[in-house]
Structure 1
């Protein structure tokens, strides 16, 4: 065997050894990466299982509005969706449909609570807060809506953090306010260990009752360790109209006796302006009658009670009187004044 053949065979053997070593190292790397991925997947699955076990409160809220809602209402609805990580949206509901249809939509979306913004005449906004399963449902009239973009407050919070719900002490004084407190708590509180939520409390939902039994909603940020509050928004006022035993139906549990519909208020304003118009027209007629009476008095011929003593239209009879009258009527002649010529300087020689 020649030397060349021996060298070629040795080179082939070396190449085969190098390739086998490379394949072995690549296989070992793949095995190690697969084991790492399997370990990561196992950890993630374990965490998900833990959260699934701890996530016992599976409340979801369906948030939607009626067709024809104005811009402010839609922006307020979007702000509430952002603040509630357990909220789900849906397309606008036609006003011709019955409100009971919303229960079916909520069941399809696996939602147990409903927030429905109903707009009428593009002026009045009503908020329905309902429990799908057994009720109750509450109808509010919304006043003084202000969105986050409109207010531009200095406060800020995490997008999916959990809120602290703060209620006024007056919620515990009357039965219907106690019921409203429970419905608000179940609707606005973010469930613990919710997949979309973050385990932090950095803002407060404040619900306070005014002397006229209206509910004010405000959202504040908790500033670091100082525990100071800075308002974030949005801000709105709820006036209770009725509370029903079922979801959008059922017996009336509470009816607000002091509630006055916006249509009735607008009608009262129109009637007041109508009264002003009638009063103005009556005043015009009285002025016309008075002016007519004055004209009649002026047109009526009356005898001169003084007589001929001060009748100056007749010419005087005596010559002396005529001379005096001529002097009075005589026009004064203006005196002729001669103006001096203006000085134009010395004459040229």
Structure 2
């Protein structure tokens, strides 16, 4: 009888029974990663990077691309593209792969390499000229770190001095920062990606963190950095509001295209040859105007 009375009291209070139901939790934010928790599902919004190139890249450019694939466990690699003009196709490929960041290597004349860093599909995007490329295969440095480990991003203080550098810092962070608890990454840090600004260019270096152990305990004061590679230099050309196009937000006034640089070098060599020919003609005219006088004793001993 006591059990029947208790059940009748609970049935008579529907408001109290509703209050006992579990409420949905608010989404958590973890290092820029939104965690949406429900009753049965758990979703994460992560940064994913698509890496692809056009046809015509050299072996060194291809090795640089493969080195970046090893550094970024949260990236997806796609086949080479035949088109170099319609870059909007890259946004479609990124949508198919489920990526919101794009690293697009564009080769020109089998010697020049351009790099596009874009947020797909709405932008912004940046076009760089890649210089001073050194891959892991040719550097042969003594440093080494575990594949798939998360990097510590180190930015030069000059990135906070100008608006376009602050934008570049944010985009580089989205691309090179491995999301926390990614299924392909290791849950610790053992290398540093350093981004420096010098001569209006961005210099990228990769270092291994070497720790000294004392009775199986690390000594942070005696830690050091050893370069691993790869290394390269990015010369920014333009920043666009959209993905691979749109209004120009920044235009580098000091940029000189590789074609113009090669034309100036050829012109300098042509000027050197022209000066040599002119000097020979002047010497010939001088000898004609000032002939050497004949010596009357020149044929005495013949």
Q: TM-score interval w.r.t. the shorter chain?
A: 0.7 to 0.9
Unaligned 5+ segments in structure 2 are 1-36, 212-217
Q: Counterpart of 1:221?
A: 208
Give the deviation of 1:56 after TM superposition: 2.7
Q: C-alpha offsets along residues 62-98 of structure 1, whole Å, 9 cap, x if unaligned?
A: 0011100011100000000001000110111114451
The structure carrying a bigger helix percent of its residues is 1
Give the 5 Å matches for 1:106-255.
106-210=94-198, 212-224=199-211, 225=218, 226-255=222-251
Give the deviation of 1:199 after TM superposition: 0.6
Q: Say whether residues 1:276 and 2:272 are aligned partners.
A: yes
Q: C-alpha offsets along residues 95-122 of structure 1, whole Å, 9 cap, x if unaligned?
A: 4451111000010111110001111111
Alignment CA distance shift 1:154-1:59 (3 Å):
same
The structure carrying a bigger strand percent of its residues is 2
Alpha-carbon distance in 2 for matches of 1:95, 1:294? 66
- Aligned match for 1:265, one of 255, 261, 267: 261
Alpha-carbon distance in 2 for matches of 1:121, 1:97? 14
Superposed CA RMSD:
2.3
Give the deviation of 1:254 after TM superposition: 0.1
Matched position secondary structure for 1:233: coil
Deviates more, 1:87-96 or 1:131-140: 87-96
Q: C-alpha offsets along residues 287-306 of structure 1, whole Å, 9 cap, x if unaligned?
A: 111222344x647x9xx9xx
Who wins on radius of gyration, i.e. which is larger? 1
Give the deviation of 1:54 after TM superposition: 7.5
Instruction: Indicate conservation of the 8 Å contact 1:55/1:193, yes or no.
Output: no
Alignment CA distance shift 1:95-1:298 (3 Å):
farther
Q: Counterpart of 1:88?
A: 76
Alignment CA distance shift 1:120-1:136 (3 Å):
same
Count of residues paired in the alignment: 252
Instruction: Indicate conservation of the 8 Å contact 1:55/1:191, yes or no.
Output: no
Give the 5 Å matches for 1:24-63.
56-63=44-51
Alignment CA distance shift 1:96-1:241 (3 Å):
closer
Q: C-alpha offsets along residues 108-165 of structure 1, whole Å, 9 cap, x if unaligned?
A: 1111100011111111111100000321000011110001111111111111111110
